[in-house]
Chain A
Amino acid sequence: MSEPSPLLRLALFLLAATGAILASSPLVLGAGWIGIAVPLAILTGTAIAHARFLVIVVTPIAVMLFVVWGWLIGAPPGAGHDSDRIAGILFAATTSLRLVVLGAAAQLFLLTIPRSQLTSTLRAWGLRGDLLLAGLATFVFFPELRVRADQILTARMARGLVPDLRLTTRIRQIAPSLGLLFTLAVRAAVNRADHWAEQHLFDDEDTVVSEHPIEYKVGAVSAILIGLVAIWLVACIVSRVC
């Protein structure tokens, strides 16, 4: 398989994140984002998730950072009020771009793990026993919880408590539905666990891993990723030192 192995994936993510934390120049962070992260996001099919993350998460933080450090304080942390507005703006830009790159690294290296390789990836990262089970159960659980939430919403609609299904209306339903949803979720967890116990499903940890072992080769994709992350890390260190 030409995809990066789980350990390589994790190492690349950690190195990319380390670079983002070390980088002190908005130019390097911006170049890394536009030159490496964005093309990779397009190639790996995470571009839409990345765009959503930029709009929903980064933009509000960035706007606040620019307002606080570029306008209100007019200086970076540690400097006097209105002493260096440009440095304040640069600090806001660096912090915003650092968040962008950290998010992009997580999306590129972690969000692209194929569902079929989830178990072997979590195992390769050192998750064993109950931790591995809990991790896997989480991914199984979310679709089920969505169904339960819809059931509660439908029941409340049938009683005339929910006028429509708009997003704002659904958000308003969270508070009154939370107790019921939690009870249903806990009951489902107990039922599922008792079923596992009756079937002796997890007496032996090896039964958790039903997949055939995957053999990873350091192919062209892995080599390119290693090269890109190495360039990124060197650029970040240089920007820090110089």
Chain B
Amino acid sequence: MQPDKKKIRLRVVAVVPAGIAVNLALGTLVHTLKLPVYLDAVGTIAVTLLAGLRAGMIVGVASFLIGGVTVNPVLPWFSGTQAVIAIYTYFVAKQGWLRTGRPSSAGDSGESSSASGSSREWLLLNLRPIVCGVGLGVVAGIVSAPVIVALFGGITGSGASLVVAFLLESGQTLFRSVLLSGLASEPLDKTIQLLLAIGLIRALPSQLRVAFGQADMLARNALYDKATLHE
């Protein structure tokens, strides 16, 4: 049975901090370890899938604003990228493009799709989310590049800055280096983030997945078995 609108509204408000915490915890960890990825939008993507566009955008922007004060003042300047990530995720999820090759009857079992066999099979099963992740990376790379160039001289202290340094040394212009570095690192990063977020949603019990009023969108992406909606 679906919860009423008032309950859903309050649940969406209450789940926002969880998304912010996921963003900040993973983002800080990756920044500290200087890995060539960011992993700072997993919460944004997960909450967008779970609770809709508005909640996802609030998670993305708020986590980067809060992170700017408490963790790293570089973050708030990328709030726009977070908003774009939420919009893109919502758009592809609305189209049902995040549906994996898993049979929908196994949708609520919480098993990892990698258990289905070889890595080739896994790749085929997850082809749509992977393509969407690559697209998300391209979009995020393009949106972030002007900020990195204008405000940070190309260096944000992340692992991707090493790629920028290498490209600059090889004679590329600053904007081109930042853009190419973004296009090289972001698709992999955003694909991992999208798959991680989908994994987090799959790890939730089915009653929790539907608790935020997005059952239709989740069902379209094989993240929720709609038959249980009318139980």
Contact = CB atoms under 8 A, between A and B. Distances in A.
Given A186-B15, A186-B204, A193 B165 contact: no
A112 B208 CA distance: 37
Interface residues of B, number: 59
Contacts of A67: 165
B11 A138 contact: no
Contact of B208 (A68, A77, A186): A186
A205 to B, nearest CB: 12
Given A64-B165, A134-B58, A192-B14, A77 B174 contact: yes
A193 B205 contact: no
Interface residues of A, number: 57
A78 B171 contact: no
B78 to A, nearest CB: 13
B70 to A, nearest CB: 8
Interface in B6-24: 6-7, 9-18, 20-22
B interface, over-half SS? helix
A190 B199 contact: no
B174 A189 contact: no
Contacts, number: 156
A73 B152 contact: no
Contacts of A21: 151
A172 B28 CA distance: 13
A137 B157 contact: no
A110 B203 contact: no
B165 A68 contact: yes
Interface string B50-93: 10000000100010001011111110100000000000000000
B13 A190 contact: no
B18 A193 contact: no
